[in-house]
C-alpha cells in the first residue's frame, strides 16, 4: 500500500483504527467511572392516568464524567453493551434504584411508597447471574418485589431462550416485567398473549407522531394489551393533545416532558396531571 501512496483503503484503515481506539478508551473510562461512583440515576415520574398521581418512576442512568459534564446514556450504553460492562452497570442500577426507594420511604411525603423501573440490557438478561443480581438488590433493600419493574426491549425476546426463562423467574419472584419501546421491533400484537410480561411501553415515536394513522395504532395497541391483561405506559408525552388522546383510549399510565423531565433523586417533583386534563 505504501508504494501506491495513501489509497482509500489505507485512509479507511486509519479511521477504523481511530474509531476502535476511541471505543476502547471510552470503555476503560466507563469501567473506571462505574467503580469511582461517577454514574448517577436520574428519575422520571410515570403518571397513573386513573388517579392522576405518580405511582412509579423510571431510573435513567447519567455519567458525570470529569471534564465532560453530564453524559447521556446514548453516548455510552452502546459501548457498554459490547462487553460484560453493561451487566455490571445493570447490577449497579438495580442496587442503586432499590436503595433509593428505601431512602424515599424514610423521607416520606410524595416520594414515599413509589415503585421503580430499571432498564436492563438484553445481554444482561441472558446472563446466568441476572436473577441473583435482582434477588441481591431485593434482599439488600428489603422492598416488596412488586415495587420493582425490569424494562427490556422487545428485540431480546426473539432469539434468547434463557432471556425468556429469566423473565418467567422474575415474575415468579413478584417482580414486574415491561416491554420497552414497543412498536419499534418485530413483536406482533398476537405474540403479546404468550410473552411473560406485565406492562407494554408504547414508544415515543408513536405517541408523538403527527401522522393520523398513528393515533389509531396507539388505540389498537392499548385495547389489544388490555385484552391480554397487560398495563400500558405511553412514553414521550409532550403535548396536551397527546395526553387527551391517551386518556380517551384508556391508557393506564404516561411519562414525558409534559409532566416532568428526568431529574436527580433529590429533585423528584410531585408530578400530577395538568388540571385541564382530569
Residues found near ligand C2E in the complex (CB under 6 A): 44, 60-61, 72-74, 77, 86, 90, 93, 119, 121, 180-181, 204, 235-238, 255-257, 262
Among the listed residues 151, 154, 198, 252, the single contact to Ca ion using CB under 5 A: 151
Residue 271's CB: how many other CB atoms inside 10 A? Answer: 18
Q: Which residue is nearest to ligand C2E (CB)?
A: 256
Nearest to 73 by CA among 109, 108, 30, 116: 30
What does the alpha-carbon distance between residue 151 and residue 118 come to, in Å, rounded to a whole number? 6
Residue for cell digits 391517551?
A: 246
Residues with Cβ within 8 Å of 55's Cβ and at least 6 positions away in sequence, in order, are: 46, 47, 48, 114, 115, 253
State which residue, 29 or 182, has the beta carbon closest to Ca ion.
Answer: 182
| Smallest distance, ligand C2E to C-beta of residue 5, A | 43
Torsion, Cα 264 265 270 276, to 10 degrees, reads 30
238 binds, among Ca ion, ligand C2E, none (CB under 5 to 8 A by kind): ligand C2E
Q: Residue 73: which of ligand C2E, Ca ion, none does it interact with, CB under 5 to 8 A by kind?
A: ligand C2E
Q: What are phi and psi of 76, to 5 degrees?
A: -135, -20
The one segment of 19-27, 106-114, 166-174, 181-189 that binds Ca ion by CB under 5 A? 181-189
Cβ-based neighbours of 2, under 8 Å, separated by 6 or more: none
Contact window for Ca ion (CB under 5 A) among 10-18, 151-159, 189-197, 207-215: 151-159
CB nearer to ligand C2E: give 230 or 236: 236
Kindly state whether residue 119 participates in binding Ca ion, applying the rule CB under 5 A: yes
| Least distance to ligand C2E, CB of residue 7, Å | 39
Amino acid at each position: 500500500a505504501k508504494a501506491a501512496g495513501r489509497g482509500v483503503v489505507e485512509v479507511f484503515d486509519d479511521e477504523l483504527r481511530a474509531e476502535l481506539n476511541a471505543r476502547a478508551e471510552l470503555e476503560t473510562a466507563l469501567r473506571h467511572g462505574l467503580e469511582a461512583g461517577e454514574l448517577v440515576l436520574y428519575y422520571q415520574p410515570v403518571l397513573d392516568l386513573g388517579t392522576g398521581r405518580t405511582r412509579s418512576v423510571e431510573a435513567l442512568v447519567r455519567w458525570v464524567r470529569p471534564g465532560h459534564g453530564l453524559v447521556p446514556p446514548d453516548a455510552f450504553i452502546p459501548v457498554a453493551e459490547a462487553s460484560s460492562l453493561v451487566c455490571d452497570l445493570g447490577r449497579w442500577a438495580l442496587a442503586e434504584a432499590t436503595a433509593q426507594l428505601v431512602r424515599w420511604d424514610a423521607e416520606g411525603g410524595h416520594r414515599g411508597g413509589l415503585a421503580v423501573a430499571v432498564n436492563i440490557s438484553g445481554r444482561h438478561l441472558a446472563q446466568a447471574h441476572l436473577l441473583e443480581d435482582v434477588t441481591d438488590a431485593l434482599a439488600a433493600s428489603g422492598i416488596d418485589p412488586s415495587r420493582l419493574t425490569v424494562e427490556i426491549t422487545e428485540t431480546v425476546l426473539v432469539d434468547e431462550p434463557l432471556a425468556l426463562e429469566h423473565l418467567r423467574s422474575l415474575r415468579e419472584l413478584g417482580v414486574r416485567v415491561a416491554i420497552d419501546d414497543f412498536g419499534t421491533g418485530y413483536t406482533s400484537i398476537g405474540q403479546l398473549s404468550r410473552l411473560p410480561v406485565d406492562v407494554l411501553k408504547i414508544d415515543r415515536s408513536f405517541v408523538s407522531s403527527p401522522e393520523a394513522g398513528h393515533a389509531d395504532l396507539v388505540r389498537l395497541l392499548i385495547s389489544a394489551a388490555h385484552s391480554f391483561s397487560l398495563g400500558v405506559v405511553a412514553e414521550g408525552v409532550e403535548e396536551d393533545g397527546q395526553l387527551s388522546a391517551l386518556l380517551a383510549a384508556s391508557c393506564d399510565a404516561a411519562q414525558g416532558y409534559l409532566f416532568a423531565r428526568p431529574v436527580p433523586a433529590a429533585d423528584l417533583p410531585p408530578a400530577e396531571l395538568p388540571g385541564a386534563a382530569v
